[in-house]
A and B are shown apart, each in its own frame.
Chain A
Amino acid sequence: MTRVQLIGILATLCLFMALYFVFSYAKVEATMLEVQKIFYFHVSSAFTVFIAFGVTCLFSILYLIKRKDRYDMIAVASAELGIVFCTIVLLTGPIWARYAWNTWWNWEARLTSTLILWLMYIAYFILRSALAEETKRVYSAVLGIIAYLNVPIVYFSVEIWQGNLHPSTDTKMNLHPTMVKAWMISWLALSVLYVFLLVLRYQTERLKSQLETIQYQQMEKT
Protein backbone atom coordinates (compact mmCIF):
# COMPACT_ATOMS: atom_id res chain seq x y z
CA MET A 1 0.00 0.00 0.00
CA THR A 2 1.37 3.40 -0.99
CA ARG A 3 1.62 6.42 1.28
CA VAL A 4 -1.07 8.25 -0.74
CA GLN A 5 -3.46 5.33 -0.30
CA LEU A 6 -2.80 5.38 3.44
CA ILE A 7 -3.60 9.10 3.63
CA GLY A 8 -6.74 8.43 1.58
CA ILE A 9 -7.89 5.74 3.99
CA LEU A 10 -7.09 7.99 6.94
CA ALA A 11 -9.12 10.80 5.34
CA THR A 12 -12.06 8.41 4.85
CA LEU A 13 -11.90 7.27 8.47
CA CYS A 14 -11.70 10.86 9.69
CA LEU A 15 -14.72 11.85 7.58
CA PHE A 16 -16.58 8.84 8.95
CA MET A 17 -15.77 9.93 12.49
CA ALA A 18 -16.67 13.57 11.77
CA LEU A 19 -20.08 12.59 10.41
CA TYR A 20 -20.71 10.47 13.49
CA PHE A 21 -19.78 13.33 15.82
CA VAL A 22 -21.77 15.93 13.85
CA PHE A 23 -24.97 13.94 13.43
CA SER A 24 -25.03 11.58 16.41
CA TYR A 25 -22.87 13.04 19.16
CA ALA A 26 -23.15 16.84 19.05
CA LYS A 27 -26.07 18.39 20.88
CA VAL A 28 -28.75 19.97 18.68
CA GLU A 29 -28.46 23.73 19.16
CA ALA A 30 -31.49 25.42 20.72
CA THR A 31 -32.02 28.36 18.32
CA MET A 32 -31.06 27.07 14.89
CA LEU A 33 -31.90 23.43 15.70
CA GLU A 34 -30.84 20.99 12.90
CA VAL A 35 -29.68 23.81 10.58
CA GLN A 36 -26.84 24.57 13.02
CA LYS A 37 -25.16 21.35 11.88
CA ILE A 38 -24.09 23.21 8.71
CA PHE A 39 -21.68 25.09 11.00
CA TYR A 40 -19.32 22.13 11.51
CA PHE A 41 -18.34 21.76 7.86
CA HIS A 42 -18.82 25.43 6.93
CA VAL A 43 -16.45 26.79 9.57
CA SER A 44 -14.02 23.86 9.25
CA SER A 45 -13.85 24.50 5.48
CA ALA A 46 -13.12 28.17 6.18
CA PHE A 47 -10.20 27.22 8.45
CA THR A 48 -8.93 24.76 5.84
CA VAL A 49 -9.01 27.62 3.32
CA PHE A 50 -6.68 29.59 5.60
CA ILE A 51 -4.30 26.61 5.79
CA ALA A 52 -4.41 26.03 2.01
CA PHE A 53 -3.70 29.65 1.12
CA GLY A 54 -1.06 29.74 3.87
CA VAL A 55 0.72 26.81 2.18
CA THR A 56 0.48 28.65 -1.16
CA CYS A 57 2.01 31.75 0.42
CA LEU A 58 4.81 29.77 2.09
CA PHE A 59 5.76 27.83 -1.04
CA SER A 60 5.51 30.96 -3.18
CA ILE A 61 8.10 32.60 -0.90
CA LEU A 62 10.26 29.47 -1.12
CA TYR A 63 9.96 29.46 -4.91
CA LEU A 64 11.03 33.11 -5.13
CA ILE A 65 14.07 32.35 -2.97
CA LYS A 66 15.16 28.97 -4.36
CA ARG A 67 13.47 28.86 -7.81
CA LYS A 68 12.70 25.16 -7.56
CA ASP A 69 9.79 24.00 -9.72
CA ARG A 70 8.35 21.70 -7.09
CA TYR A 71 7.70 24.66 -4.76
CA ASP A 72 5.67 26.30 -7.51
CA MET A 73 3.77 23.02 -8.05
CA ILE A 74 2.85 22.77 -4.36
CA ALA A 75 1.79 26.44 -4.32
CA VAL A 76 -0.50 25.91 -7.33
CA ALA A 77 -1.96 22.68 -5.96
CA SER A 78 -2.71 24.29 -2.62
CA ALA A 79 -4.21 27.41 -4.22
CA GLU A 80 -6.61 25.27 -6.23
CA LEU A 81 -7.66 23.36 -3.11
CA GLY A 82 -8.10 26.66 -1.29
CA ILE A 83 -10.52 27.70 -4.02
CA VAL A 84 -12.41 24.38 -3.69
CA PHE A 85 -12.81 24.79 0.08
CA CYS A 86 -13.61 28.50 -0.30
CA THR A 87 -16.36 27.60 -2.80
CA ILE A 88 -17.86 25.33 -0.16
CA VAL A 89 -17.74 28.18 2.35
CA LEU A 90 -19.35 30.59 -0.11
CA LEU A 91 -22.11 28.14 -1.06
CA THR A 92 -23.02 26.80 2.38
CA GLY A 93 -22.90 30.29 3.92
CA PRO A 94 -25.94 31.57 1.97
CA ILE A 95 -27.94 28.45 2.95
CA TRP A 96 -27.28 29.25 6.60
CA ALA A 97 -27.96 32.94 5.92
CA ARG A 98 -31.32 32.25 4.27
CA TYR A 99 -32.51 30.41 7.35
CA ALA A 100 -30.90 32.57 10.02
CA TRP A 101 -31.12 36.07 8.51
CA ASN A 102 -33.82 35.51 5.88
CA THR A 103 -31.51 36.58 3.06
CA TRP A 104 -29.20 34.65 0.72
CA TRP A 105 -26.46 37.29 0.70
CA ASN A 106 -25.49 40.37 2.62
CA TRP A 107 -22.58 42.70 1.85
CA GLU A 108 -21.34 42.29 5.39
CA ALA A 109 -17.58 42.46 6.14
CA ARG A 110 -16.92 38.72 6.57
CA LEU A 111 -18.94 37.70 3.50
CA THR A 112 -17.50 40.41 1.29
CA SER A 113 -13.89 39.81 2.32
CA THR A 114 -14.31 36.04 1.78
CA LEU A 115 -15.66 36.67 -1.72
CA ILE A 116 -12.71 38.99 -2.43
CA LEU A 117 -10.32 36.28 -1.17
CA TRP A 118 -11.92 33.74 -3.53
CA LEU A 119 -11.72 36.19 -6.47
CA MET A 120 -8.04 36.93 -5.72
CA TYR A 121 -7.11 33.27 -6.08
CA ILE A 122 -9.25 32.96 -9.20
CA ALA A 123 -7.13 35.86 -10.51
CA TYR A 124 -4.05 33.83 -9.53
CA PHE A 125 -5.09 31.12 -12.01
CA ILE A 126 -6.12 33.60 -14.70
CA LEU A 127 -2.69 35.18 -14.39
CA ARG A 128 -0.99 31.79 -14.72
CA SER A 129 -2.94 30.91 -17.83
CA ALA A 130 -2.23 34.29 -19.43
CA LEU A 131 1.56 34.44 -19.00
CA ALA A 132 4.46 32.58 -20.57
CA GLU A 133 6.00 29.59 -18.78
CA GLU A 134 8.95 31.40 -17.19
CA THR A 135 7.22 34.57 -16.05
CA LYS A 136 4.00 32.95 -14.84
CA ARG A 137 5.71 31.22 -11.93
CA VAL A 138 7.33 34.38 -10.61
CA TYR A 139 4.28 36.63 -11.05
CA SER A 140 1.85 34.10 -9.63
CA ALA A 141 4.17 33.54 -6.65
CA VAL A 142 4.08 37.27 -5.96
CA LEU A 143 0.28 37.27 -6.24
CA GLY A 144 0.10 34.18 -4.02
CA ILE A 145 1.91 36.11 -1.30
CA ILE A 146 -0.06 39.35 -1.71
CA ALA A 147 -3.42 37.53 -1.80
CA TYR A 148 -2.63 35.87 1.53
CA LEU A 149 -2.67 39.28 3.20
CA ASN A 150 -6.47 39.08 2.83
CA VAL A 151 -6.68 36.04 5.15
CA PRO A 152 -6.19 37.93 8.43
CA ILE A 153 -8.60 40.57 7.09
CA VAL A 154 -11.25 37.86 6.57
CA TYR A 155 -10.60 36.42 10.03
CA PHE A 156 -10.74 39.72 11.91
CA SER A 157 -13.27 41.44 9.62
CA VAL A 158 -16.08 41.16 12.18
CA GLU A 159 -13.97 42.96 14.80
CA ILE A 160 -12.54 45.51 12.34
CA TRP A 161 -15.86 46.57 10.77
CA GLN A 162 -18.11 45.65 13.70
CA GLY A 163 -20.28 43.37 11.59
CA ASN A 164 -23.39 42.24 13.41
CA LEU A 165 -24.30 39.10 11.44
CA HIS A 166 -21.28 36.85 11.94
CA PRO A 167 -20.27 36.20 15.54
CA SER A 168 -16.92 37.57 16.76
CA THR A 169 -13.86 35.29 16.70
CA ASP A 170 -14.11 34.24 20.37
CA THR A 171 -17.81 33.23 20.26
CA LYS A 172 -17.03 29.68 19.19
CA MET A 173 -15.45 29.04 22.56
CA ASN A 174 -18.91 29.39 24.15
CA LEU A 175 -20.22 26.34 22.35
CA HIS A 176 -21.44 23.26 24.19
CA PRO A 177 -18.50 20.81 24.75
CA THR A 178 -20.08 18.19 22.45
CA MET A 179 -20.33 20.81 19.69
CA VAL A 180 -16.70 21.88 20.17
CA LYS A 181 -15.59 18.24 19.89
CA ALA A 182 -17.66 17.71 16.73
CA TRP A 183 -16.25 20.91 15.24
CA MET A 184 -12.63 19.98 16.04
CA ILE A 185 -13.05 16.51 14.56
CA SER A 186 -14.69 17.96 11.43
CA TRP A 187 -11.77 20.35 11.06
CA LEU A 188 -9.30 17.50 11.52
CA ALA A 189 -11.16 15.42 8.91
CA LEU A 190 -11.16 18.25 6.38
CA SER A 191 -7.47 18.95 7.06
CA VAL A 192 -6.55 15.30 6.40
CA LEU A 193 -8.74 15.38 3.27
CA TYR A 194 -6.89 18.54 2.23
CA VAL A 195 -3.52 16.80 2.63
CA PHE A 196 -4.77 13.82 0.60
CA LEU A 197 -6.09 16.02 -2.22
CA LEU A 198 -2.92 18.13 -2.10
CA VAL A 199 -0.76 15.06 -2.71
CA LEU A 200 -3.02 13.98 -5.61
CA ARG A 201 -3.01 17.48 -7.11
CA TYR A 202 0.79 17.73 -6.73
CA GLN A 203 1.15 14.39 -8.54
CA THR A 204 -1.00 15.80 -11.36
CA GLU A 205 1.26 18.86 -11.63
CA ARG A 206 4.33 16.60 -11.82
CA LEU A 207 2.74 14.51 -14.56
CA LYS A 208 1.93 17.70 -16.49
CA SER A 209 5.50 18.88 -16.11
CA GLN A 210 6.91 15.51 -17.29
CA LEU A 211 4.61 15.60 -20.30
CA GLU A 212 5.69 19.14 -21.17
CA THR A 213 9.38 18.18 -20.90
CA ILE A 214 8.97 15.20 -23.23
CA GLN A 215 6.96 17.27 -25.71
CA TYR A 216 9.62 19.99 -25.61
CA GLN A 217 12.40 17.44 -26.21
CA GLN A 218 10.50 15.97 -29.16
CA MET A 219 9.98 19.42 -30.66
CA GLU A 220 13.70 20.16 -30.37
CA LYS A 221 14.51 16.90 -32.17
CA THR A 222 12.23 17.72 -35.08
Chain B
Amino acid sequence: MHKSLWITVLIIFVVFFGLFIRSQVPVIITQDEVFAAIDDAIAETKAQVDKTEVEQVVNKALEKLEARQKKRLKFLVSAYFIIWLIFILYALWLGQTQDQLRKRLDQLEAGR
Protein backbone atom coordinates (compact mmCIF):
# COMPACT_ATOMS: atom_id res chain seq x y z
CA MET B 1 0.00 0.00 0.00
CA HIS B 2 2.77 2.40 0.94
CA LYS B 3 4.57 2.04 -2.37
CA SER B 4 1.46 2.66 -4.45
CA LEU B 5 0.57 5.63 -2.27
CA TRP B 6 3.97 7.20 -2.73
CA ILE B 7 3.95 6.56 -6.45
CA THR B 8 0.57 8.35 -6.57
CA VAL B 9 1.98 11.29 -4.61
CA LEU B 10 4.98 11.41 -6.93
CA ILE B 11 2.80 11.37 -10.04
CA ILE B 12 0.55 14.11 -8.64
CA PHE B 13 3.61 16.20 -7.86
CA VAL B 14 5.19 15.71 -11.28
CA VAL B 15 1.91 16.56 -13.07
CA PHE B 16 1.21 19.72 -11.03
CA PHE B 17 4.76 20.92 -10.98
CA GLY B 18 5.20 20.17 -14.67
CA LEU B 19 2.02 22.05 -15.55
CA PHE B 20 3.13 25.01 -13.48
CA ILE B 21 6.60 25.18 -15.01
CA ARG B 22 5.08 24.84 -18.47
CA SER B 23 2.63 27.63 -17.82
CA GLN B 24 5.42 29.90 -16.54
CA VAL B 25 7.89 29.50 -19.39
CA PRO B 26 7.22 32.43 -21.70
CA VAL B 27 6.06 31.81 -25.22
CA ILE B 28 9.15 32.05 -27.37
CA ILE B 29 8.86 35.29 -29.29
CA THR B 30 10.42 35.02 -32.72
CA GLN B 31 12.38 37.78 -34.43
CA ASP B 32 9.58 38.23 -36.99
CA GLU B 33 7.04 38.77 -34.24
CA VAL B 34 9.31 41.35 -32.57
CA PHE B 35 9.77 43.22 -35.87
CA ALA B 36 6.04 43.15 -36.62
CA ALA B 37 5.13 44.40 -33.13
CA ILE B 38 7.69 47.23 -33.35
CA ASP B 39 6.37 48.21 -36.80
CA ASP B 40 2.82 48.31 -35.41
CA ALA B 41 3.89 50.30 -32.33
CA ILE B 42 5.82 52.86 -34.41
CA ALA B 43 2.92 53.20 -36.82
CA GLU B 44 0.41 53.66 -33.98
CA THR B 45 2.47 56.18 -31.99
CA LYS B 46 3.98 57.85 -35.09
CA ALA B 47 7.23 58.17 -33.10
CA GLN B 48 10.41 59.23 -34.87
CA VAL B 49 12.79 56.45 -33.75
CA ASP B 50 15.57 54.37 -35.23
CA LYS B 51 13.79 51.06 -35.91
CA THR B 52 16.98 48.96 -35.89
CA GLU B 53 18.07 50.33 -32.52
CA VAL B 54 14.65 49.72 -31.03
CA GLU B 55 14.68 46.15 -32.32
CA GLN B 56 18.09 45.51 -30.77
CA VAL B 57 17.00 46.91 -27.40
CA VAL B 58 13.75 44.91 -27.40
CA ASN B 59 15.56 41.67 -28.30
CA LYS B 60 18.13 42.25 -25.58
CA ALA B 61 15.38 42.95 -23.03
CA LEU B 62 13.55 39.77 -23.99
CA GLU B 63 16.74 37.73 -23.67
CA LYS B 64 17.36 39.15 -20.20
CA LEU B 65 13.80 38.48 -19.05
CA GLU B 66 13.92 34.88 -20.25
CA ALA B 67 17.32 34.27 -18.62
CA ARG B 68 16.10 35.67 -15.30
CA GLN B 69 13.01 33.50 -15.37
CA LYS B 70 15.06 30.41 -16.21
CA LYS B 71 17.22 31.16 -13.15
CA ARG B 72 14.16 31.59 -10.89
CA LEU B 73 12.59 28.36 -12.08
CA LYS B 74 15.87 26.53 -11.41
CA PHE B 75 15.69 27.60 -7.74
CA LEU B 76 12.05 26.59 -7.49
CA VAL B 77 12.58 23.18 -9.12
CA SER B 78 15.60 22.45 -6.87
CA ALA B 79 13.66 23.25 -3.69
CA TYR B 80 10.61 21.13 -4.55
CA PHE B 81 12.80 18.32 -5.86
CA ILE B 82 14.60 18.18 -2.48
CA ILE B 83 11.32 18.26 -0.52
CA TRP B 84 9.78 15.40 -2.49
CA LEU B 85 12.99 13.41 -2.59
CA ILE B 86 13.27 13.51 1.23
CA PHE B 87 9.63 12.48 1.73
CA ILE B 88 9.77 9.66 -0.79
CA LEU B 89 13.13 8.32 0.42
CA TYR B 90 12.00 8.44 4.06
CA ALA B 91 8.70 6.70 3.31
CA LEU B 92 10.41 4.02 1.23
CA TRP B 93 13.01 3.44 3.96
CA LEU B 94 10.22 3.17 6.53
CA GLY B 95 8.32 0.66 4.39
CA GLN B 96 11.46 -1.39 3.79
CA THR B 97 12.36 -1.45 7.51
CA GLN B 98 8.83 -2.60 8.38
CA ASP B 99 8.97 -5.38 5.79
CA GLN B 100 12.32 -6.61 7.12
CA LEU B 101 11.09 -6.54 10.72
CA ARG B 102 7.90 -8.42 9.83
CA LYS B 103 9.90 -11.05 7.93
CA ARG B 104 12.27 -11.50 10.89
CA LEU B 105 9.32 -11.73 13.29
CA ASP B 106 7.65 -14.39 11.14
CA GLN B 107 10.89 -16.39 11.06
CA LEU B 108 11.22 -16.23 14.84
CA GLU B 109 7.58 -17.13 15.39
CA ALA B 110 7.95 -20.11 13.05
CA GLY B 111 11.09 -21.27 14.87
CA ARG B 112 9.40 -21.20 18.29
Contacts and interface: CB of A to CB of B under 8 A. Distances in A.
Interface of A: 5, 8-9, 12, 15-16, 19-20, 23-24, 33-35, 37-38, 41-42, 45, 84, 87-88, 91-92, 95-96, 98-99, 193, 197, 200-201, 203-204, 207-208, 210-211, 214-215, 218
B69 A84 contact: no
Interface in B37-87: 69, 71-73, 75-76, 78-80, 82-83, 86-87
Contacts of A87: 86
B75 A20 contact: no
Interface in B91-112: 91, 94-95, 97-98, 101-102, 104-105, 108-109, 112
Contacts of B102: 207
A15 B88 CA distance: 13
Given A8-B1, A19-B12, A204 B98 contact: yes
A70 B83 CA distance: 30
Contacts of A207: 98, 101-102, 105
| Interface SS majority for chain B | helix
B16 A20 contact: yes
Contacts of B82: 88, 91-92, 95
Given A19-B12, A210-B105, A99 B1 contact: no
B79 A95 contact: yes
Contacts of A38: 75-76, 79-80
Interface residues of B, number: 38
Contacts of B5: 8-9, 12
Contacts of A16: 12, 16
Contacts of A91: 82, 86
Contacts of A215: 108
Given A95-B75, A99-B75, A23 B17 contact: yes
A12 B12 contact: yes
A33 B26 CA distance: 14
A160 B2 CA distance: 43
Interface of B: 1-2, 5, 8-9, 12-13, 16-17, 19-20, 24, 69, 71-73, 75-76, 78-80, 82-83, 86-87, 90-91, 94-95, 97-98, 101-102, 104-105, 108-109, 112
A215 B78 CA distance: 45
A19 B17 contact: yes
Contacts of B17: 19, 23
A24 B102 CA distance: 42
Contact of A42 (B69, B79, B90, B112): B79
A211 B108 contact: yes
Given A8-B5, A207-B102, A211-B105, 19 more contacts: A8-B2, A15-B12, A19-B16, A23-B16, A23-B17, A23-B20, A34-B24, A34-B72, A34-B76, A35-B75, A84-B90, A95-B78, A99-B71, A203-B98, A204-B97, A207-B98, A210-B105, A211-B104, A215-B108
